[in-house]
Amino acid sequence: MRIITGIARGTKLETLDSDATRPTSDKVKEAIFSMIQFEIEGRRVLDLFGGSGQLALEALSRGADKATIIDESREAVNVIINNAKHAKLYDKCRISAISYSAFLKSFSEDNKYNIVFLDPPYASDMMHDSLKLLAQYDVTAMGASIICESETVPSKKKNHEKKDPDKLSASVLSDVFAGDTELMEKYNLERSSVYGRTRITVLTKK
């Protein structure tokens, strides 16, 4: 695992040796950053499920100004700190061992986030819960991009999503919002694509 491009290009990153951590592949990471490539420069980044910190560190390498990286695992936080220092990006980071829900509920800063990464464990309700909390609490700046990495079941039907907005919306409702139409109504669906078993979705709040 490495930083793909930018000022820390090629820096190798550690990952936590745990079933709870699922590093984002280079292919998926490239897809994420191609979706938001013009939105990164000078922006404030929040990664609510830090893991190794690779998404936030990639954003910093590509020109983001500051990053807050959250993970409730102290072991993961130690890995993130080591990776940030190794990439020489530590001074741009705020790294905390705290749950995503506790962080969002306690947020009271004036400087809100422009980019939010959500990459929780697949077999959990954390994506739905974090989107619900983001809609409830004033954490993001106007027009902020929320990038969701969720699991999907590969299907031939998904090949037609780009041509059929209704099919895309139905897939995102299932894969990202756990069927919660009321919650989905609080967000704009900017784009969504599937890479193997991974769906990458970019949302903005209404």
Q: Where do the structural domains in the chain lie, given as residue ranges?
A: 26-205
* pLDDT band at residue 154 under the 50/70/90 scheme: low
Residue type, 135: A
Would you state the pLDDT for residue 12?
94
The residue whose two tokens read 């490495």 is 2
Residue type, 55: L
Dihedral (CA of 171, 174, 179, 185) sign: negative
Architecture of domain 26-205: 3-Layer(aba) Sandwich (3.40)
Q: Are 28 and 50 in contact (CB under 8 A)?
A: no
Q: Are strands 187-195 and 140-151 parallel, antiparallel or unpaired?
A: unpaired
Structure tokens at 191: 């784009």
Looking at per-residue confidence, does 152 or 155 come out higher? Answer: 152
Interval 114-134 mean pLDDT: 94
C-alpha span between 206 and 196 (Å, rounded): 29
Helix (H) or strand (E) holding 99: none
Task: Give, in order, the Cα–Cα distances in Å from 133 to each of 101, 104, 105, 148, 180.
Answer: 7, 7, 8, 14, 14
Q: Is the confidence at residue 73, as pLDDT, over 80?
A: yes
pLDDT digit string (tens) for 82-103? 999 999 999 999 999 999 999 9
Would you state the pLDDT for residue 24?
74
The residue whose two tokens read 């969720």 is 150
Mean pLDDT, all residues of the chain:
91
* pLDDT band at residue 25 under the 50/70/90 scheme: confident
The residue whose two tokens read 């404030």 is 44
